[in-house]
Structure 1
């Protein structure tokens, strides 16, 4: 059964399916960057962390036969990258953005070097839940075949929202992110908190990479990422550093990314490829719309500075 069997209904159905599949890496990377930025630090190196996480997950799954061990390996690798980034950034006069770009290049280069032996071998995929089993329509079944990591990402967004508002750890993160002086007055070490937040952010970003290599598209190659790590920074700003906002923004970006394939599925063969640029255009529009020389961004952590 092909995409034209259900007519134009194939377009929204394909966009829904794409929003679910494409948004999952965005969810984890944006939530990880949200935690990092709420501590007062920006990490532009998550693109490299995501790619290295994809490689680490795939290689581990090939060697052990377990995709979940692959996810765990990706988290460990991502946290190490975060610790390195956080450790370097704690020194005076060090620029977060410059270190992030360096870590991005380092992570991607190391992933390509270590991952060459794993381009051909097949790794076991992460499981999914067939929520569309009730339907006899193949497109509905495919759209509702939802990976477990997507559901975990949704739950994590709600847990983080609650934790930021109602737990001591959430309070500590918010205080450190708003004012280093206030944090020190409370007996906290801002550098240590930011180091841990950057490590957690790296671990979550690497989970997004594991999803790419172990489920969708479900392979390891040097072009596996399409800039999700960099676009996550725009997502966090658009979401106003709110976990639920990150979830919704990720779904929006996922739907935009699915627009081109959705049109192709119903027979649009002329110019549909232009819609593949939709996520990048959306990123640009968001950055322009949220930028203003006369006002600060609502919800922005007080200690977060792009010019540090």
Structure 2
């Protein structure tokens, strides 16, 4: 293997892990929400608001992990508002999600202006590549702890949905609200809790953006990752474990442009930077015609009715 190919491969592995982490948290949050029969397109707003709150909290307290918790709390509050409004009669959850996406980004831009210039303490990475004498390997294996938290959450969420009473209740609510009500389940309460929990995870994804990679707060931080994560959930067919692989795939496509640039290939750089958005379009087109995706979708989602 030539040095150039090896450098690109290592850069893509490291980039896939870094870029995939916010995708993973938002996708897991949206998976949990959609499993209960509700769509939350407002998670882009959660992501941006979480990034701002995390950065502001880290700057004010000097503790980036407090920033992570604050980001999750901000995302949870925003999504709880979404969940509460959606339980009202004749309310469209997609329209409410778009409104909350704009609300979240607007609040972040308004309250985040004082924090664009200051430097806040960032999250440290775990160096897993010190065993190697190759700089590319050491750089690729600088992994933030939030990535491992995301992996653990994916396993826990998969197990919870598959093997616990709570998971059965959530899946039943998403597949047949009438059956859930017949069993004495409060459909509105289940959807409110899952929507708020999904917002918490999306807020943590935003904290990763501002406190680790790229590691600053500005108004163009997200670039639509919250919305792309909705396509990722469809691609993963509402399976938390598949969300991990889908997030890594999105992350690898996002890391392709910088990886090629690192070895001096700059021609077509902007095209490669657009790869995640192209992949999103392809996934949406394929999923629209996929019978397997239609069968896996919770029946109560508005997009399948």
* Shorter-normalised TM range: over 0.9
1:230-285: CA deviation from partner (whole Å, max 9, x where unpaired): 00110000000000111110000000000101111111121122100110110111
2:190 matched to 1:203? Answer: no
Mapped to 2, the partners of 1:16 and 1:295 lie a distance apart of 30
2:219 matched to 1:222? Answer: yes
Mapped to 2, the partners of 1:296 and 1:10 lie a distance apart of 36
Correspondence list, 1:58-207, <5 A: 58-207=55-204
Give 3-state SS (helix, strand or coil) of 1:223's partner: coil
Mapped to 2, the partners of 1:240 and 1:293 lie a distance apart of 11
Q: Number of matched residues?
A: 304
2:43 matched to 1:46? Answer: yes
1:19-65: CA deviation from partner (whole Å, max 9, x where unpaired): 00000000000000000000000000000110000000000000001
8 Å CA contact retained: 1:97, 1:306: no
8 Å CA contact retained: 1:8, 1:266: no
Give the RMSD, CA atoms, in angstroms.
1.4
Give the TM-score normalised by structure 2.
0.97
Deviates more, 1:228-237 or 1:265-274: 265-274
Q: Which runs of 5+ in 2 are unaligned?
A: none
8 Å CA contact retained: 2:234, 2:293: no
Question: In structure 2, what is the equivalent of residue 26 of structure 1?
Answer: 23
Give 3-state SS (helix, strand or coil) of 2:126's partner: strand
Mapped to 1, the partners of 2:106 and 2:52 lie a distance apart of 11
Mapped to 2, the partners of 1:289 and 1:199 lie a distance apart of 30
Give 3-state SS (helix, strand or coil) of 1:258's partner: helix
Q: Which runs of 5+ in 1 are unaligned?
A: none
8 Å CA contact retained: 1:179, 1:302: yes
8 Å CA contact retained: 2:294, 2:304: no
Mapped to 2, the partners of 1:137 and 1:116 lie a distance apart of 41
Give the TM-score normalised by structure 1.
0.96
Mapped to 1, the partners of 2:47 and 2:290 lie a distance apart of 32
Mapped to 1, the partners of 2:159 and 2:264 lie a distance apart of 45
Q: Select which of 238, 241, 245 maps to 2:242.
A: 245
How many Å apart are 1:8 and its aligned residue?
2.1
Mapped to 2, the partners of 1:107 and 1:268 lie a distance apart of 37
Give 3-state SS (helix, strand or coil) of 2:58's partner: helix
